[in-house]
Amino acid sequence: MKKSWVIIALVLSLCFPIYPQTKQKISLLLYNGKVFTADENYSIAEAVAVDGEKIVAVGKSKDLRAKYSAAKEIDLQGKLVTPGFNDAHVHFLRGAIALLTVDLTGTKTLEEAKAKVAAKAKTLKAGEWITGRGWDHTLWGGKFPSKKDLDAVAPNNPTILIRVDGHVAWVNSKVLELAKVTKETKNPNGGEIERDSNGEATGILKETAQGLVALTVPQATPAQQLQGMELALKMAREYGITSVQDISGYDSTKLYRQFLQQDKLTVRVTEMQTFDDSIEKLKQQRTEFATFKDNPSRIKLGALKGYVDGTLGSKTAAMLAPFTDDEHNSGIPRYTPEQLTKMIVERDAAGFQIALHSIGDKANRMALDGFAMTESETKIRFINLTRLTNVPPDEYEKAIEVAKSKRKRHRIEHAQVVNPSDFKRFAELGIIASMQPSHAISDKRWAESRLGEYRVLGSYAWHLMRSYGVHVPFGTDFPVESINPYRTLYAAVTRQDEEGTPVGGWQPQEKVSMAEAIRCHTYESAYAEFSEKEKGVIAVGMLADLVVHSKDLLTIAPKEILTTTPVYTIFNGKIIYQK
């Protein structure tokens, strides 16, 4: 019997020969790994197949290796793969240029900062400018420096040094003379010239007062811009950053387009326009940009960025009540509530997404109040529309839901101090809370003394914000903080500084899981720029922007997060960095 079956099988094989199945050719196959897709279920796979710019399959290593033949195959040997990081809030070009100036980041004393300025002055001729940034007076005892400190080490060189948060300028007497800032110069709206007991400018210019000297400061040359951009792009590749939402303004798109045309732009750029510009100017910029016909997955225009207030570190954040450690100071709002609401409603009606820098609880409320008015306007428009089209009254609410589905995804950038009653409003209004966890571990030294034990509970509260169902994309705010996204993840899951303090984390109830943190830095960031259907998760049809990590972020001890690096950064289906 057995012999007859063998004969039958032989006959069948001769009549119906089985040929090896031809594998589908693709460009890249990653297998034998741990692929964190960053989808809503936090799914894990083993392999990813890429052809050209897109992902064509995600699944088990055995299945994908059997189906595909890749021009390049990488055995991941168990390493973690995630979507490429998307920095939802970064001053990319400004940070790039800052890399070429005097770096005062982390200076522990005023004398240390002055020594760096003195060293730079020795390399320059009299009259040549010294520019720099990164100083933080809270590390020097809390008192602002003055023009006299700079006059002592750079008397012959105009010197301007921007505080780490970008909201205060420290200048010497030469700059004040060139800008003609005198005892009689008035504070601009939304700004302050700090003065001594005699009414003389001390050299500290807060918020919009920086504009009084801005025109005297030489702009970066085209060569400096190119050099800085090359350095910043290199940093991005080395940190696994494949998308940036830049706050450098429309003019910076010229430089990005230059790099794109030379095939040197290794991040996807969404550039924000300026909220304060007229609607006519904003539309003209959009019209001009459309004529360039660039690939929108590589470079596009995004939200309108505006500033409602300053920062906590500079005590210029707009607060509902005075700072706990400065009872006569409630910060500096840049608009009246009426002015801000009017501008929000006008720009919303013109079709623009809006992103407002709001640090203090008053600033956040002002922004929310303005956005609430756009909801009211939308509701009125839809009710009128349904009436004109004879839609029954019971269909009004359905029409409102349609309106909500077409929201412009307005954003509040930072959302650092939020009144307890306002968290729910973020969710109800569909406002995105674009947050930067690194700020919490930098600011925790003084945050509670500045805010008090109750207000601090609503500060840097990304877990609470998410618990209300608010979309929370993560960014770095480079150059205010390091562009390193691993530091962002570390801050989000530990609430500790790099030394591991405090034990258990500062305000530990605001920690999130590593899976949540990665999704916030990938999918949520893509959602914030209307790109969640093309990037931010590892799935078929998505852009092939991936990072292979040196350590398994999902399982390692928290202290190891800071020493994790990309092994490969893959952008647009190509390996752009290999450790």
Query: Over the stretch 321-373, which tens digit does the pLDDT of each residue have?
Result: 999 999 999 999 999 999 999 999 999 999 999 999 999 999 999 999 999 99
Residue 459, beta-bridge partner list: 417
pTM, to two decimals:
0.90
What is the number of alpha carbons within 13 Å of residue 281 lying toward its C-beta?
10
**Residue 390: pLDDT over 80:** no
**Residue 527: pLDDT over 60:** yes
Q: What does the alpha-carbon distance between residue 511 and residue 334 come to, in Å, rounded to a whole number?
A: 32
| One-character DSSP codes across 18-59 | -PPPPPEEEEEEEESSEEE--STT--EESEEEEETTEEEEEE
| pLDDT tens, position by position, 9-23 | 554 454 544 444 689
**Sign of the C-alpha dihedral, residues 85, 91, 92, 95?**
negative
pLDDT at position 252 is 96
What are the sequence ranges of the domains in the chain? 101-214, 308-475+488-509
CB atoms within 10 A of CB 440: 24
Q: Which amino acid is at 318?
A: A
pLDDT at position 400 is 60
| pLDDT tens, position by position, 214-253 | 999 999 999 999 999 999 999 999 999 999 999 999 999 9
Mean pLDDT, range 316-323, rounded to an integer: 97
pLDDT at position 16 is 47
| pLDDT tens, position by position, 75-103 | 999 999 999 999 999 999 999 999 999 99
| pLDDT tens, position by position, 284-304 | 999 999 999 999 999 999 999
b (16+ CB within 10 A) / e for 367-385 = bbbbbbbbbeebbeebbee
pLDDT at position 395 is 66
**In degrees, to the nearest 5, what angle opens at C-alpha 122 toward C-alphas 120 and 128?**
70
H or E segment at 257?
A: helix 253-261
Cis peptide before 322 (omega within 30 of 0): no
Nearest of 538, 570, 565, 568 to residue 550 by alpha carbon: 565
**Residue 544: pLDDT over 60:** yes
**Residue 405: pLDDT over 90:** no
Q: Work out the pLDDT band at 404, boundaries 50, 70, 90.
A: low
pLDDT at position 375 is 80
| pLDDT tens, position by position, 450-479 | 999 999 999 999 999 999 999 999 999 999
- 308-475+488-509, what's its fold? TIM Barrel (3.20.20)
**Residue 516: pLDDT over 80:** yes
pLDDT at position 17 is 47
The CATH classification of domain 101-214, taken from the options 3.10.310.70, 3.40.50.2300, 3.20.20.370, 1.10.3210.10? 3.10.310.70
**Residue 397: pLDDT over 80:** no
pLDDT at position 19 is 43
3-state secondary structure of 312: coil
